[in-house]
Amino acid sequence: MPKLKGLKNVEKPDLVLDSGDAFQGLPVSNHSKGEEMAKAMNKVGYDAMTIGNHEFDFGYKQLLKLQKQLHFQMISSNIYKNGKRAFKPSTIIKHNGVRYGIVGITTPETKTKTSPDAVKNVEFKDPLKSVEKAIKQLNGKADVYIVLSHLGIEKSTKQQWRGDYLTSKLSNDKSIQKPIIVLDGHSHTVIKQMNLKRKHLK
């Protein structure tokens, strides 16, 4: 995290975002049930994150506690608890005159890829429908849409739950008139550097 903060100070990015599974994995984070990582992310100055399956590893109540500790939005458009939306589906961040509409989405595989007790009475609705609904609810208030996706592209994952499926469908949705960027995580897949209008992405 200190290196990331240093990089942020040098590069001065418009946004610092996370596609999920931020609180679990390192010994210091696991020992504190994610609280030390939440502090570190606050110090870096994150703008938003979505919820990954491992955000539930320390229990649903702990996830809500971590949410309160963050100085930025933790969002997901398809998580419902007891029939009601559990988290904010999106947030709008304005930077240098640009309004970024940021939408979160969480893999339905969470039901089988975290502690069963942590997701009791929790429902993960269809990713594509949830993202489309969240974008419509932003009602043209954004200049650019960014989808923080924790779906992944594993071949073993149901097609409708994959990040590449979501990206393909959104890119062909003519009702969405603004640019859409999908930042996907979950499957830890290495992808060779891609081109965007003949320029390499960093």
| Cβ pair 167, 184 in contact under 8 A | yes
Letter for the amino acid at 44? V
CA atoms within 13 A on the CB side of 86: 26
Domain map (residue ranges) of the chain: 2-200
Per-residue pLDDT reduced to its tens digit, 46-62: 999 999 999 999 999 99
pTM value > 0.95: no
Question: Any residues with CB less than 8 A from the CB of 152 and at least 6 apart, and which?
Answer: 107, 162, 163, 184, 185, 186, 187, 188, 189
CATH among 3.60.21.10, 3.40.50.300, 2.40.160.40, 3.40.50.410 for 2-200: 3.60.21.10
Distance CA 36, CA 116 (A): 24
Per-residue pLDDT reduced to its tens digit, 25-52: 788 888 999 999 999 999 999 999 999 9
